[in-house]
Structure 1
Amino acid sequence: MIDTTFNTENQLRIINLYGNKLKGNVPPSLTNCIYLEFLDLGNNELNDTFPSWLGGLSDLKILSLRSNKLHGPTSDSRMDNLFAMSLLQIRVIDLSSNGFSGDLPMSFFENFQAMKITGENSGTQEYVAEASSGYANNLIVIKKGQDLELPQVLTTYMIIDLSRNRFEGYLPSIIGDLVGLRSLNLSHNCLEGHIPTSFHQLSVLESLDLSSNKIGGEIPQQLASLTFLVVLNLCHNHLAGYIPKGKQFDTFDNSSYQGNDGLYGLPLSKDCGGDDGVRQATTPVELDDDEEEEEEGDLISWQAVLMGFGCGLVIGLSIIYIMFSTHYPAWFPGWS
């Protein structure tokens, strides 16, 4: 358990308790840390509902609760307005590998104000809690499916990771407003619907992972404009149609699209689409032994019939020729 009670006079800017096998609830006294910018409680055994009461932390920029036993909906109508205040400055939110459920929290995306500004327009580059030298403000995030440690986090490096939960519903088009977003991971949930075309507005997006959901429809051609996109994972959904071409999409291989039977075109192999993106003919179905024998028998029968017909035709024509050439011989019945 986190036995510490945080008093109202503390000036903590960083709390990093990552990977300490902590159990129990997230301590409500964290609301007293009004100067807090960096909160990492990841990779513990905390068993609690979503701490929406963190809403009083208006300076919070990094929130990581990944890899715990947290559960239930992240939205609480009684606390949504309060919690929205703590989202205004958020640069990184990582709730991955928990048991959160319900629809994706629309209030989150609506209130990520700092993510609505690209790095180029947000002023000089700074690090989160940079002045607090001597304190551990390194952050563990997932990139390309592996843990990556960031010694410091730039205020312009913006991440949303809600993967490996039980979120349902549709991908909200409002995510397209978060133009400063660098990494978006919503994989391993129960999301459905289509990929919003508004995602093409995420002009500095470097990593997009929507794998292992129930997302259908086509991949919007507009996404080919994402020139910073390095990692794309759309595997194991219900996507269909042609894969977009051009720019970054020409660099992705089969591993970005596996488990979508309706997709075709490059870079998929020829059994899904040819070199020119045209569907190939279906491979003939193999026959079992009985079917082969039956088919061969039918073929032989028809061959015999045709051979008999051919022989009979030749003989008949020969007889007619002899009859006319000999002026109807007497040995042919009925003629004399």
Structure 2
Amino acid sequence: MGGNRIRGNIPPSLGNSIQLGALNISFNDLVGGIPKEFGKMARMETLVLSNNRLSGIVPQDLGSLAELLYLDMSINMFNGSIPFSLGQCSKLHFFNLSNNGFIGEIPVQLGGLDHLSVLDLSHNSLIKEIPSVLSSMSSLEMLNLSHNQLSGSIPESFKLMNAFLKIDLSYTHLRGPLPKSKAFLNLPIEAFQGNEDLCRNVTGLKQCASECRTPKWKHKLALLISLPLLGALLLGGLLGIFNFYSWRSKTLRSKSLLSTQLVNEHKHGKNFFSVSTFNGRETYDEILAGTEDFNEAYCIGMGTCGSVYSVKLSSGDIVAVKRLHSSSEETDHNDFLNEIIYYKKYTPPLILIAATVAAIASPLFLRR
């Protein structure tokens, strides 16, 4: 009855024709859905419903058609998921559901169709990944999954499908490398266009990142070279930290003794700057001028034993000057000395932390 102007719905009573082996009602103006009564036609081998305006959900009852060899429901308006029960039609060799509105995933049950030679699910809204079980279709010659919303990569197991004559995976959202088989490497670029993230060393596709990686033997060679170098850097860093710590301790000890001497001389009324190797009086006058006699506008901090001022010297250097309280009763000289001891105590650990960070970063630098 194909190629006529038959209108209306498919009558459910047609399902009572249990002896019917072939039904072709394609190229008509049929609407509505497929009657679930079609599941009773146990001897059906050919069912062609294409090029109509059929809609709705395909009933799971079609999975009862155990003798079905040829199923074509293309170019209609079916929606919903592809019935997983169709995977029970184990004798199918032609399966076409293209140009519909099917959604959801490709049923993994279709992998049981061992005799299938043509599978066309193109121009639908199928999502998620291509099931790897489809690779068990050892007789599959034509696969068309184009124009869907598929994602993920092409299953690597597809390289075992040697019967392929035609594959179309264009305009999906697939990514990753093509399977390493002649069936895929010999395909025209049109079979993969519209998939920007597919890759392989073939014309029209970008090269995979994995193919651009350095060979493993080069990584091993770089590792053998970098390990001794890294060890030398770490040893040198530790020796440097030890030497710096020793130098810093001696320097701060000397400064502590000098500061104690200055404080003691200041207590006994001696010239505070006379011990310094530079002209302290001129520097003091320069500080007074630079801070406008220690104006509060130049104060950047206050402590228990004095205030800190920012001063720009004639040399162009900007220094911080701590002005002790004028009265010896108000000045806790021990606190002042504790500040010196603080730098002596905590500066080396900070340097050690910086050296540790540098040591951790060294392998990353060497690897690059």
For residues 198 and 91 of structure 2, the distance between their equivalents in structure 1, rounded to whole angstroms, comes to: 36
In structure 1, runs of 5+ residues without a counterpart are 1-16, 116-157, 280-336
- Structure 2 residue aligned with 1:248: 183
For residues 164 and 247 of structure 1, the distance between their equivalents in structure 2, rounded to whole angstroms, comes to: 29
- Structure 2 residue aligned with 1:204: 139
- Structure 2 residue aligned with 1:69: 53
- Residue 221 of structure 1 deviates from its aligned partner by 1.7
Any residues of structure 2 matched to 1:284-299 within 5 Å, and which? none
Cα deviation, 1:257-285, whole Å, max 9, x if unaligned, reads 00001111133426x238x9659xxxxxx
| Higher RCO by CA contacts (8 Å cutoff, separation 6 or greater) | 1
For residues 268 and 190 of structure 1, the distance between their equivalents in structure 2, rounded to whole angstroms, comes to: 29
Return closer, same or farther for 1:255/1:266 CA change in 2, 3 Å cut-off.
Answer: farther
Return closer, same or farther for 1:96/1:212 CA change in 2, 3 Å cut-off.
Answer: same
- Structure 2 residue aligned with 1:26: 10
For residues 180 and 45 of structure 2, the distance between their equivalents in structure 1, rounded to whole angstroms, comes to: 36
- Structure 2 residue aligned with 1:89: 67
Any residues of structure 2 matched to 1:1-336 within 5 Å, and which? 17-75=1-59, 80=60, 83-85=62-64, 87-109=65-87, 111-115=88-92, 158-269=93-204, 272-273=206-207, 278=212
Any conservation in 1 of the 2:69–2:94 contact (CA below 8 Å)? yes
> SS where residue 91 of structure 2 aligns?
helix
Letter in 2 for 1:19: G
Any conservation in 1 of the 2:2–2:28 contact (CA below 8 Å)? yes
For residues 189 and 211 of structure 2, the distance between their equivalents in structure 1, rounded to whole angstroms, comes to: 14
For residues 3 and 201 of structure 2, the distance between their equivalents in structure 1, rounded to whole angstroms, comes to: 42
Cα deviation, 1:172-200, whole Å, max 9, x if unaligned, reads 22211111100000111110111111111
Return closer, same or farther for 1:225/1:84 CA change in 2, 3 Å cut-off.
Answer: closer
Identity of aligned residues (%): 33
Give the number of equivalent residue pairs: 213
- Residue 160 of structure 1 deviates from its aligned partner by 0.8
For residues 13 and 34 of structure 2, the distance between their equivalents in structure 1, rounded to whole angstroms, comes to: 15
TM-score of the two chains, using structure 1 as the length reference: 0.60
For residues 102 and 139 of structure 2, the distance between their equivalents in structure 1, rounded to whole angstroms, comes to: 25
For residues 255 and 277 of structure 1, the distance between their equivalents in structure 2, rounded to whole angstroms, comes to: 23
Any conservation in 2 of the 1:265–1:278 contact (CA below 8 Å)? no
- Residue 246 of structure 1 deviates from its aligned partner by 1.7
- Structure 2 residue aligned with 1:131: none
Whichever of the two has the greater Rg, that structure is 2
> SS where residue 78 of structure 2 aligns?
strand
